[in-house]
Amino acid sequence: AQSVTQLDSQVPVFEEAPVELRCNYSSSVSVYLFWYVQYPNQGLQLLLKYLSGSTLVKGINGFEAEFNKSQTSFHLRKPSVHISDTAEYFCAVSDWNNNDMRFGAGTRLTVKP
């Protein structure tokens, strides 16, 4: 079965600074990888996904992630964050039919003025 480890539970950063949220996964089969964001009192919404093809994936709100198969990582990056990016971010891994999508414990990103 797949599993996901998000290496940082909290990441504080100042506005307009770059940020990287780290995610490592383990799986014995080909996987699909996702990053979701959760704002307060809301459900999760998709930021970006990797299914196949280019290892650099661009998502919404200026975020991007890079799939690194040799390091089994899928780190999320943004070159310049805004106050509005303050939220909880979840990395997830799934097999081909989504019957067992596994989520990490989440990283709380706090952007300070």
Partner 1 sequence: ETGVTQTPRHLVMGMTNKKSLKCEQHLGHNAMYWYKQSAKKPLELMFVYSLEERVENNSVPSRFSPECPNSSHLFLHLHTLQPEDSALYLCASSQVHPEAGELFFGEGSRLTVL
Q: Which residues bind partner 1 (CB under 8 A)?
A: 4, 9, 32, 34, 36, 41-46, 49, 51, 90, 94-106
Residue closer to partner 1, measured from CB, 16 or 100: 100
Label residue 96 exposed, middle or buried (CB < 10 Å: 0-12, 13-18, 19+).
exposed
CB of 59 to partner 1, least distance (A): 11
CB of 6 to partner 1, least distance (A): 9
What number of helices (H) and strands (E) belong to the chain? 0, 12
CB of 52 to partner 1, least distance (A): 10
CA distances from 73 to 33, 43, 100, 112 (A): 10, 25, 19, 27
Classify residue 107 by its DSSP letter.
E
Residue closer to partner 1, measured from CB, 53 or 113: 53
